[in-house]
Amino acid sequence: MSNLDRVFKRIEAYREEIIALQRELTSRIALGPDNGGGGEHEKTAYLKKKMEELAPSSLEEIRSPDERADRGYRPNLVARWDGKTAYPTVWVLSHTDVVPPGDLNLWESDPYQVRVEGDKIIGRGVEDNQHGIVSSYLALKAIRESGEALKRSVGLALVADEETGSKYGLDYLLKDRPDLFKPDDLIIVPDGGNDQGTMIEVAEKSLLWLKFIVTGKQCHGSAPERGKNSLYGAARLIVGLEKMKKEFSLEDLLFRPPRSTFEPTKMEGNVPNINTIPGRDVFYMDCRVLPQYSLDEIIKFAETLAREVAAELGLSIDVKTHYRQEATAPTPSDAPVVVALTEAIQKVKGLEAKPMGIGGGTVAAFFRRAGLPAAVWITEPNTAHQPNEYCLISSVISDAKVFAYLYMGG
């Protein structure tokens, strides 16, 4: 048996260990202040102990000040194990925070007490992002227990605040400790993928949230001539905005879906009663735009459409940019991290992985903006943020093997 096979055998025997880790992690509820929680302290402290068990070469807790959080900070953990050569390091960056469970009636069991059903572990956070935490950790544990050497240096980063903007997580880490990550490092963010584990995310679209405020004149439902019905303006404009799909119809096969998307989403309440004609309607649009277009030209086009509808119906329409994030330069499809991951996936799973772009947005954008080519990859059923979120034990095992392959340098 080869060294790698011995490590793989050990990983295959980790079913109970995976369930136990998922149980412990899920019960330590890591909600950020924006989600009504005190932060990630308990979960991070537990993980710190687990990391210590594997005798890291260095282990640091990097605290980002946040007055709203317990103890006034958010904990970020960085553990490193030296390989035979110091660089490049294989980094796996996972996040400790979770999103709230949402409507509890939609859950079949307590979201914070994991339930096991055959190959499934069910609970809040088991996929997002504990699948990544557990598989990257167990890969290292198996190598340590087998007495095998790491060829590459390994870094496990466990960051806070991914679900609510990363200001106290990766964004802080990159600013506070620019020495940690090097452009040559293989940086993997196990926080997105498909159920086969064949999707390596390397690019994201630009994100634009537009807010449309349609103003008319409110009046009694029986006397429309005394007012201006803003709902007609909103309806007309929503239909008109479909022109954006035609105007910005470029396709780029790196992305899924291959074109930009423009979808009206949230609608604010207007009048509470049926016999009042509304004088103000507000709705939003979620646009995911291929990097080939500038967001400014998208905004300009939306403004022109809004002006036309406003003039036609005698209303006024304001177009506001609620949020915008310009796409970062993608990680090249032939970047070392993509090549190494593709090889590892092929060797472990016998599958051909492909670099792809998505609608956004993962935390990898922070790496890319800092000039660090990161790849997003994991094998996941895409149940993140949903009720009855689950992960598959078999996928955690196969992904741990992929990480072990990378740590051992193939």
Catalytic residue positions? 97, 162
Task: State which of positions 191-220 bind Zn ion (CB under 5 A).
Answer: 191
In this structure, which amino acid lies at residue 374? A
> What does the alpha-carbon distance between residue 60 and residue 45 come to, in Å, rounded to a whole number?
12
Size of the residue set binding Zn ion (CB under 5 A): 3
Give the Cα-Cα-Cα angle 9, 14, 18 (nearest 5 degrees): 150
Which range in 133-141, 188-196, 197-205, 306-314 contacts Zn ion by CB under 5 A? 188-196
Nearer to Zn ion, 270 or 328 (CB): 328
In this structure, which amino acid lies at residue 306? A
Contact (CB, 8 A) for 170 and 74: no
Which range in 51-59, 120-128, 254-262, 312-320 contacts Zn ion by CB under 5 A? 120-128
Of these, 22, 26, 94, 129, which contacts Zn ion (CB under 5 A)?
129
Q: Is residue 389 at the binding interface for Zn ion, with CB under 5 A as the rule?
A: no
The DSSP code sequence of 139-166 is HHHHHHHHTPPPSSEEEEEEES-TTTTS
Q: How far is CA 385 from CA 130, 166, 168, 210, 375, in A?
A: 13, 17, 20, 23, 21
Q: Is residue 185 at the binding interface for Zn ion, with CB under 5 A as the rule?
A: no
Q: Residue 76 CB, nearest distance to Zn ion (Å)?
A: 15
Which range in 56-64, 169-177, 185-193, 204-212 contacts Zn ion by CB under 5 A? 185-193
In this structure, which amino acid lies at residue 213? I
Whose CB is nearest to Zn ion?
128
Contact (CB, 8 A) for 114 and 121: yes
Q: Is residue 281 at the binding interface for Zn ion, with CB under 5 A as the rule?
A: no
Of these, 40, 66, 127, 128, which contacts Zn ion (CB under 5 A)?
128
Q: Residue 147 CB, nearest distance to Zn ion (Å)?
A: 34
Q: Residue 126 CB, nearest distance to Zn ion (Å)?
A: 12
Report phi then psi at 339, rounded to 5: -65, -45
Per CB under 5 A, residues contacting Zn ion are 128-129, 191
